[in-house]
Amino acid sequence: MVFSSITNWFKRRRQLARPWQAVRYIALDLETSGLHPQTDSLLAMAWIELKPPLLDYRSARYYLLGQQDTDLKQSPVVHGLRQQHFADPVDPQQALKELAGVLNGAVLVCHHVQLDWQFLKAAASRYDIRLRPLALFDTLQFDARRLRKQQHHIERGSLTLASCRQRYQLPIYQAHHAFDDAVGCGELFLAQAYHFGGRARVSVGEIIRQTRSA
């Protein structure tokens, strides 16, 4: 067990030392009934695989996971999801197993990744599914660090997905739909990564470190 852990640690370290363009990324967005993974429901998930400089639309997935008796709370207002949308939901276990397969060895990219990651871990644990991404990348924290380094005041609303995309002259998409937001997050990541690393030999690890507090 100890030997296996050490081997995995060295393997991950080697992966993180690779040029960032040589690694797969999974841009993901979730729709939930609230902000608390232990008490709120996972309603929908969407993801798309990134192979810099491209988004692989053949890999894109969008799944509705809620049940017709799920307490949607504010979701009809925030996400536009209503009870009739869940007439034929996907089995959450099936969706999470598929995600586990594509996420293995890839970097998980989200806008506010810690919240989505907590929901994913809570849902996966219910079905004894292991999610093993290479690392986590937060597009929100990347721009927060960039603004702080430039000594900009971070105003309310300046770190939304739409606001971050505007700083890279990316087009406006409809917000609060898991598929649109997953694609939007993936495009934002590529813009951020190329802005930071360009086509130079910048490692995955260096890109990930740009999401930590300056």
Is the confidence at residue 75, as pLDDT, over 60? no
Contacts (Cβ under 8 Å, ≥6 apart) of 126: none
Within a domain: 214: no
Within a domain: 109: yes
Instruction: Write out the residue range of the structural domain in which residue 130 sits.
Output: 2-209
Q: Report the distance separating Cα 4 and Cα 66, nearest Å.
A: 38
Q: Report the distance separating Cα 133 and Cα 22, nearest Å.
A: 15
Is the confidence at residue 85, as pLDDT, over 70? no
Within a domain: 195: yes
Query: 124-164: per-residue pLDDT in tens?
Result: 999 999 999 999 999 999 999 999 988 777 888 899 999 99
Q: Report the distance separating Cα 34 and Cα 77, nearest Å.
A: 12
Chain position carrying tokens 């990651």:
117
The answer to whether the beta carbons of residues 23 and 134 sit under 8 Å apart is: yes
Q: Report the distance separating Cα 204 and Cα 209, nearest Å.
A: 9
Chain position carrying tokens 């609060």:
176
Q: Provide the number of structural domains found in the chain.
A: 1
Is the confidence at residue 43, as pLDDT, over 60? yes
Q: Report the distance separating Cα 151 and Cα 146, nearest Å.
A: 9
Within a domain: 24: yes
* Residue 76: predicted pLDDT: 41
Within a domain: 21: yes
- The CATH number assigned to the domain holding 177 equals 3.30.420.10
Within a domain: 167: yes
Is the confidence at residue 87, as pLDDT, over 70? no
Within a domain: 18: yes
Q: SS3 of 167, please?
A: coil
State the burial class of residue 93 (Cβ atoms within 10 Å of its Cβ: 0-12, 13-18, 19+): middle
Instruction: Name which residue leads in pLDDT, 105 or 73.
Output: 105
28, β-bridge pairs: 47
Within a domain: 35: yes
What predicted TM-score, i.e. pTM, was given to this entire model? 0.89
DSSP state of 138: E
Q: Report the distance separating Cα 187 and Cα 168, nearest Å.
A: 10
Average pLDDT over residues 63-71: 66
136, β-bridge pairs: 108
